[in-house]
Amino acid sequence: MITKKEENRLVIINGTEQTWIEPWGKNSLRVRMTKEAKMDENDWALTEKVEECVPEITFETVDTTDPWYKSEEWAKYHSTGVVSRIKNGKITAIVNPEGWISFVNDKGEELTAEYWRTRDRINRYCAPLRIVGRELKPKNGSSDYSLTARFEAYDDEKIFGMGQYQEKNLNKKGACLELCHRNSQASVPFMISSRGYGLFWNNPAIGTATFATNKTEWVAYSTKKLDYFITAGDTPAELEENYSAVTGRTPMMPEYGLGYWQCKLRYRNQEELLTVAREMKKRGLPIDAIVVDFFHWTRQGDFKFEPRDWPDPKAMVKELKEMGIETVVSVWPTIDERSENFGEMAANGYLVTADRGNSNHMTWMGNTIFYDATHPGAQKFVWDKCKKNYYDNGIRCFWLDEAEPEYGPYDFDNYRYYAGSALQCSNVYPVGYAKGFYDGLKSVGETEIMSLVRCAWAGSQKYGVLTWSGDIYSSFRSMREQLQAGLNMCLAGIPWWTSDIGGFLGGDITDKKFQELLIRWFEWGAFCPVFRMHGERSPWYEREEEFINGVRQLTSGQENEVWSFGEDNYQIMRKYLFIRENLRDYIREGMKTASMNGTPIMRPLFYDFSDDKECWNIEDEYMFGPELLVAPVMEEGATERELYLPAGTSWTDANTGIKYEGGQKVSVAAPLEIIPVMIKEGSGLKIY
């Protein structure tokens, strides 16, 4: 094993294996490893230009009396007893004489270290298991590798971020997470550790991340190299800033993103949608956007309105704009084999292909194949169709659904993209999907861009992505899971996030229990980055199957407007529409901060109060901007709520006006019409 300096990087050479450690932005390092003659040049999400940093690289001979280090046998293969270091600001990587890497902060405290269980003659650690910290194993008969990276486990460590997973825990220590996308699951592999570092797994390959009690292990099933980014900082906010600087920051949120979005499955025609918008205005209710959901089109892959049900989209959009309402239109990446665009897209290689068997990816409402969002030509083709049929009618905000994409089944080993096999690169699909629309909107002069997308990976945020949490169930359990999902998604660098208020599947609007859930979720939604109503709303309308030009038309669920659930519930929802509107200036400032330095408006308590150890344990409260602590009610029948108030400041209950000192737990009243919100001392904000 040899270590040496090459330009501004430290290089570890071990036979055919090369590992590079180099500065990558402020207080950060990038680590790459290959067994190829040349390092794979794909930067994946690390594409942003970062400030130039000159590292300190040093080599120190270890003072050892072990005769092994003086033997001819050792000298043949190793740099005898040399410890190598590369320092960039607050982080230093230390390479021991046997090639193990550990990372320390500017105080000399260990942040994390590779997990090796071999014979370490320097540290006298002997565990002849032959387990190494980084391992590329060639896949027989191919030029690809399986990859495993192992790190030590620490009893005191808590881990946050990693994107959006449907489970209960905010702290991911102890979790085994799929590194793949599914409907309602988005893998965004950036983690923030309570030990003062952040690590981004810069690899879109399918795999797993396991944060076990005995070790941390990252796995990619098929890849070309190891590639990760690690950063150090004194606060979680500093880690988030360093990470967002290298993967990209979200643009400033458009003004229509700050208010209320009305949506349901589904407005079946132009008049139905306009009737709802007119009623909102007639009642004097604030609304910023209304959504035209899926199957408004002639056929999947045609990317245009069905003219019978949507006879004059331009006039519809014009009327909505005059009411101050933005029109959002659903786009699916599914191309029906009977679509007018199918032949041209197939001939040009714009569709995802299969390595074996038939290429159909989804058979719901037609036999369809996903378009290849990793292909620049396919991105432009789809945008050009949407520009002609949507944008030229005045529509500038798109709902990019099915963005995982939602394969049925998720046989990643069978699909192939322009960018490579799905096993190697599938997780970048939603990035390319959003980029195609972002680039298209930019090309026609749009400066305020937002796309509602059902998935994201690292870097998606710079393309104006608003991610929502997919087709979740209507239950209090699901609501609780969405809270941790949203907080971890925001920590993973995707600050625009929302969920379907009330859940998507299974909500019967006549059921009192569902109405209670809906009210609690609506109240919480008013304090989310985007405030958006949506849902299937059982039971579906029973209509005879209808066809237009041989295309089956989709029916829809029950009403989903704020006046659809009874007068008492309407009055509560109306109140929160105006609470959200009154917070517009505050939310706008929070979105400016997200755009400038990556800090999400919705974040766990420890983000603002990292010195308060108890804040690292709180999973059911969060900060909404720097001045509001929000504690959603997520239990059926609850009328009070216990919550923790961070130390170092005092807090005022927005409902009662009672003042409390921080550093304690308190119980507050939480009748159905109240979501507990605490206002930080010195704020001046009024909620109720």
Amino acid in the structure at residue 224: K
Q: Are 299 and 336 in contact (CB under 8 A)?
A: yes
The yes-or-no answer on residue 404 being catalytic is yes
Phi, psi of 452 (to 5 degrees): -85, 115
Pick the catalytic residue from 302, 401, 481, 500: 401
The yes-or-no answer on residue 401 being catalytic is yes
Residue count of the chain: 688
Distance in angstroms (rounded) separating the CA atoms of residues 32 and 492: 21
Q: Are 120 and 132 in contact (CB under 8 A)?
A: no
The yes-or-no answer on residue 471 being catalytic is yes
Q: Which token pair is 457? A: 């990976």
Nearest to 290 by CA among 311, 319, 312: 319
Pick the catalytic residue from 238, 404, 500, 653: 404
Pick the catalytic residue from 471, 481, 500, 612: 471
Distance in angstroms (rounded) separating the CA atoms of residues 666 and 650: 12
Q: Are 208 and 219 in contact (CB under 8 A)?
A: yes
Burial of 443 per CB tally in 10 Å (0-12, 13-18, 19+): exposed
Distance in angstroms (rounded) separating the CA atoms of residues 242 and 26: 6
Nearest to 482 by CA among 454, 533, 524, 523: 524
Identify the three-state secondary structure at position 228. Answer: strand
**Long-range contact list for 580-588, CB < 8 A, 24+ apart?**
580/259, 580/260, 580/286, 580/526, 580/531, 581/259, 581/260, 581/286, 582/686, 583/526, 583/685, 583/687, 584/258, 584/259, 586/625, 586/627, 586/628, 586/685, 587/258, 587/625, 588/253, 588/255, 588/258
Residues 6+ apart with CB under 8 A from 551: 298, 299, 366
Nearest to 184 by CA among 204, 201, 164: 164
How far, CA to CA in Å, does 199 sit from each of 85, 152, 209, 228, 492?
A: 19, 14, 12, 7, 10
Q: Which token pair is 636? A: 């059926």
Q: Are 193 and 175 in contact (CB under 8 A)?
A: no
Residues involved in catalysis: 401, 404, 471
